[in-house]
Amino acid sequence: MSSFGWLGQPAVFPWVALALGLCIGSFLNVVIHRLPRMMEREWRAQCAELAGQTPPEEPPYNLVAPRSACPSCGHRIRAWENVPVVSWLALRGKCSACRAKISFQYPFVEILAGAGAGYAAWRFGPGLAALGAALFVWFTIALAFIDQETGFLPDDLTLPLVWLGLLVNLGGAFVPLRDAVIGAAAGYLFLWSVNAAFRLLRGMDGMGYGDFKLYAAVGAFLGWKFLPLVILLSSVVGVVFGSLQMFSARRGWDWKFKFHFGPYLALAGIIAMFWGPAIMQRYPLLRFT
């Protein structure tokens, strides 16, 4: 704690992490919106090269440029309009220029990122485990929202997450490195095998390869012993969302929710990270030793 100074005090550290998480959440909104479009640009350029054509000249588009702007009127977002959560509330969820509606997803992502980091700091205290848990939460938030919108889990996020899991466990943040390496390999191979069996039976893939990599990342962070619990939890989460979908349909509510496995796996991984040991202690049959 001494290396953190007063920031490492139990009464201070979670609040600092919360504030940082809110700011990271604002950046995650950029990642969620722009990364799929950056991937589309790259695919178009690759297709043009394969066709022997010159890729069209396009203005820079990445996580930094151009500056954030209102999609309806092009109004450049000013600094005071980009304060996490507060700006959305102050603007009443509308653009300051054209009054177009700003999606609630923006403050929601910021709140999730802030709450996740704050809880990680409170749960684990100053150290590598809190940092690892916060990074895991931030990455999985972005992956869940991207998968929900596009059906893709980008390698630009899943593969670094696998390596981050292995790196934080070099110091045994969550599990010994040996368990983390086995967890990463077992996570990938298990879903790959399930999909291979499904393809043999049905002649089509049952899930995307991004799901394999995300499950491998979960194994890299939590180790192989938690993998069965994560699969069980993801199934429970899927049943809950499916039930809500059916309930809303009967009520005539238009709940536009797509059933992708990535968000369920991400949420299950977060639950297992924070409460997995307590769940396995309460239900010994879930232990995989």
* pLDDT, tens digit, 9 for 90 and up, residues 116-139: 999 999 999 999 999 999 999 999
What is the Cα Rg of the chain in Å?
21
- As a whole number of angstroms, the distance between CA 136 and CA 161 comes to 7
Q: Mean pLDDT over residues 238-249, rounded?
A: 74
Q: Mean pLDDT over residues 211-222, rounded?
A: 97
* pLDDT, tens digit, 9 for 90 and up, residues 16-36: 999 999 999 999 999 999 999
* pLDDT, tens digit, 9 for 90 and up, residues 261-273: 889 999 999 999 9
Alpha-helical runs (H) found in 125-176? 128-150, 155-168
- As a whole number of angstroms, the distance between CA 88 and CA 106 comes to 8
Please give the pLDDT value at position 50: 86
**210 contacts 240 by C-beta, under 8 angstroms:** no
In this structure, which amino acid lies at residue 164? L
Block residue for tokens 């992956």? 143
Long-range contacts of 32-37 (CB under 8 A, 24+ apart): 32/105, 32/109, 32/142, 32/145, 32/146, 32/149, 34/61, 34/62, 34/63, 35/63, 35/142, 35/146, 35/154, 35/156, 35/157, 36/146, 36/149, 36/150, 36/152, 36/154, 37/61
Please give the pLDDT value at position 158: 97
**Residue 245, pLDDT above cutoff 80:** no
Q: Mean pLDDT over residues 90-117, rounded?
A: 93
Reported confidence tier of residue 2, pLDDT bands at 50, 70, 90: very low
Please give the pLDDT value at position 97: 87
**107 contacts 117 by C-beta, under 8 angstroms:** no
**Residue 3, pLDDT above cutoff 50:** yes
Residue 179's Cβ-count burial label (10 Å; 0-12, 13-18, 19+) is: buried
Closest among 256, 252, 246, 185 to 215, alpha carbons compared: 185
Q: Above pLDDT 70, what percent of the chain?
A: 91
Q: Mean pLDDT over residues 141-157, rounded?
A: 94
**Residue 156, pLDDT above cutoff 90:** yes
- As a whole number of angstroms, the distance between CA 27 and CA 30 comes to 5
Bond preceding residue 277 cis, omega within 30 of 0: no
Considering the chain, what is the average pLDDT of its residues?
Answer: 89
Half-sphere exposure of 224 (CA within 13 A, CB side): 13
- As a whole number of angstroms, the distance between CA 25 and CA 63 comes to 14
Block residue for tokens 């992708």? 260
Q: Mean pLDDT over residues 147-164, rounded?
A: 95
* pLDDT, tens digit, 9 for 90 and up, residues 37-72: 999 988 888 888 888 888 778 888 899 888 888 888
Please give the pLDDT value at position 78: 87
Q: Mean pLDDT over residues 176-204, rounded?
A: 93
Closest among 169, 168, 189, 167 to 179, alpha carbons compared: 169
* pLDDT, tens digit, 9 for 90 and up, residues 87-99: 999 999 998 889 8
Closest among 149, 160, 156 to 263, alpha carbons compared: 149
Please give the pLDDT value at position 68: 87
Please give the pLDDT value at position 280: 87
